[in-house]
Amino acid sequence: MPFVKVYLHCVWSTKNRIPYLDSIELRQKVWNHIRENAIQKGIYIDFINGYSDHCHCLISLGVDQNIQKVIQLIKGESSFWINKNELTKEKFQWQEEYFAVSVSESILDKVRDYIKNQEEHHKKKSFQEEYDEFILKYGFKMVDNK
C-alpha cells in the first residue's frame, strides 16, 4: 500500500468574479457542503474558506487522484447543489480556470492561517490583487490567446 501526502493550495473564483457568496452565513453553508461532499468522494480537504467571489482549499491528494479531477468534482457538484437549493438570486457558476500550487508540510500552518483569515484579508485587498500576486509569486505566465 502506498503512502502519499501531497498538499495543494487551490483557488478558484465565481464565474466573472460575481460576488454570489455575499454573506458569511451563505459562505459557511457552501464550505461545509463542499467539505461533506468531498468526504463522500474520498477527497481530503484539510481547510476551506473564501470570500464572496472565490474559494480557497487546502487539499491532500490521494494516491489515485489528480488535480483536475478533484477540482472538477468539487466545483461541479457544489455549483449543482447551490443551484438546486436556490441559495443565490441568479444561476450560480464557478469560473473554469483555477490556481493550484504544492504546499510543503513545513508551511501548512501558515497556509491554513492565510485561508482562515479570508474575511479580514479581503477588507484590505481585492481578489484580483490577490490573484495577480499569486501569478507573480509562483511564476505563472498569462497566455494571450490572440
- What mean pLDDT, rounded, does the chain reach? 91
- Edge to edge, what strands does the sheet with 44-51 contain? 44-51, 54-61, 6-13, 99-103
Is residue 130 very low, low, confident or very high in pLDDT (cuts 50, 70, 90)? confident
| DSSP secondary structure string for all residues of 108-144 | HHHHHHHHHTHHHHHHHS-HHHHHHHHHHHTT-----
pLDDT tens across 103-118, in order?
A: 999 999 999 999 999 8
Q: Which helix (H) or strand (E) holds 28?
A: helix 24-40
Give dist(CA 70, CA 83) in Å, integer.
20
Is residue 146 very low, low, confident or very high in pLDDT (cuts 50, 70, 90)? very low
- pTM for the whole structure: 0.86
Query: Which domains are present in the chain?
Result: 6-137 (3.30.70.1290)
